[in-house]
């Protein structure tokens, strides 16, 4: 099991954001994490990637307890996380943004080659020389994905990646996820249910900080509790 979460909880000033979550993510799987706004998804992912310290519980990555490991050290272990709010360097060219991320694992000409490949995969090769801040919001999200991909992560965590993308870009994103499925493990936090249903192997549903259900996209779609809590058909 690549990622194992046990009893993970987080409270902020007495408010229980995440409560006793158990979560297993096998290597090579595309897992979608869904739930209503305020369900605790971003808090849970923040604890997994090391940006939020849990109140209790453990996070294990590839057999190692990383619960107290800071975020930058988790990156070195093979985790990459794209933010719900873009975290690019707006005054640097698109290519240089990706190259900076690539230098965490590569040197010399290999950096340029890897950056170019990553930009090609997300459809931004033509924008390589533009300042990142001049990109549309949707293209900035794609740039973030390229910055994650170029690190060759073992676990790629994508937080609302299709927000701001056009229909055509969403179709390209779905194709990218399908292509990546054999290369890396993906944890996808996503509100677009069409994207979830068409790309995920397994779906985990968070509600009021607790794990409500897990299953295949079809099982989740047919789950009465999920329909009532999230899909709006209950």
Domain that holds residue 165: 1-78+156-234
Torsion of CA 123, 150, 82, 199, to 10 degrees: 60
* C-beta atoms surrounding 11 within 10 Å: 15
Q: How much of the chain exceeds pLDDT 70, in percent?
A: 97
SS3 label, residue 66: coil
Among candidate residues 152, 169, 195, the one where a domain is terminated: 152
Rounded-to-integer distance, Cα 131 and Cα 91, Å: 6
- Are 160 and 234 members of one domain? yes
pLDDT at 82: 82
Asked if 175 and 218 sit in the same domain, the reply is yes
- Tell me the pTM: 0.89
Say yes or no: 110 and 161 in one domain.
no
Report pLDDT for 143. Answer: 93
pLDDT of residue 120: 95
Two tokens at 141? Answer: 């999200």
Backbone dihedral angles phi then psi of residue 50, each to the nearest 5 degrees = 95, 10
- In the chain, what is the straight-line distance between the N-terminal and C-terminal CA atoms, in Å? 34
pLDDT at 128 over 80: yes
In this structure, the answer to whether residues 184 and 147 fall within a common structural domain is: no
The residue from 114, 134, 152 where one domain ends is 152
Q: pLDDT tens digit string along 17-29?
A: 999 999 999 999 9
Q: Do residues 67 and 45 both lie within one domain? A: yes
Average pLDDT over residues 34-63: 94
How confident is the model at residue 232, as a pLDDT?
Answer: 56
> From CA 25, how far away is CA 2, in angstroms rounded?
6
pLDDT at residue number 165: 87
In the prediction, which pLDDT does 19 show?
95
Across the beta sheet with 202-207, the strand order is: 79-82, 155-159, 185-189, 30-34, 202-207, 210-215
| Average pLDDT of the residues of the chain | 91
User: Among 29, 4, 28, 155, which Cα is nearest to 80's?
Assistant: 155
Question: Is 100's pLDDT higher than 80?
Answer: yes
Task: Tally Cβ neighbours within 10 Å of residue 17.
Answer: 21
The domain boundary residue, chosen from 129, 152, 175: 152
Distance CA 228, CA 117 (A): 43
Q: How many domains does the chain have?
A: 2
3-state secondary structure of 234: coil
pLDDT band at 11; cut points 50, 70, 90: very high
Are both 140 and 180 inside the same structural domain?
no
Q: Are 146 and 181 in contact (CB under 8 A)?
A: no
Mean of the pLDDT values across residues 58-69?
97
Residue whose tokens read 């994103």:
173
Give the pLDDT score at 83. 66
> pLDDT for 133-176, tens place per residue?
999 988 998 999 999 999 999 999 998 889 888 998 899 899 99
């Amino acid at each position: 099991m690549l990622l194992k979460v046990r009893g993970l909880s987080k409270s902020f000033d007495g408010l229980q954001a995440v409560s006793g979550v158990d979560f297993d993510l096998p290597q090579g799987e595309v897992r979608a994490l869904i739930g209503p706004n305020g369900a605790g998804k971003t808090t849970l992912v923040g604890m997994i990637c090391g940006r939020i310290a849990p109140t209790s519980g453990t996070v294990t990555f590839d057999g190692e307890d990383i619960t107290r490991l800071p975020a930058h050290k988790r990156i070195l272990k093979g985790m990459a996380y794209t933010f719900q709010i873009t975290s690019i360097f707006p005054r640097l060219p698109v290519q240089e943004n990706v190259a900076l991320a690539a230098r965490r694992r590569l040197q010399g000409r290999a950096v340029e080659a890897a950056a170019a490949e990553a930009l090609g995969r997300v459809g931004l090769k033509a924008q390589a020389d533009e300042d990142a801040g001049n990109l549309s919001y949707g293209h900035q999200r794609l740039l973030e994905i390229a910055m994650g991909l170029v690190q060759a992560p073992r676990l790629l965590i994508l937080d609302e990646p299709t927000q701001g993308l056009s229909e055509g870009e969403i179709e390209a994103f779905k194709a990218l996820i399908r292509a990546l499925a054999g290369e890396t493990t993906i944890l996808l936090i996503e509100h677009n249910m069409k994207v979830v249903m068409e790309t995920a192997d397994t779906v985990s549903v968070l509600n009021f900080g607790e794990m409500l259900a897990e299953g295949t996209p079809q099982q989740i779609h047919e789950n009465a509790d999920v329909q009532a809590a999230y899909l709006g058909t209950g």
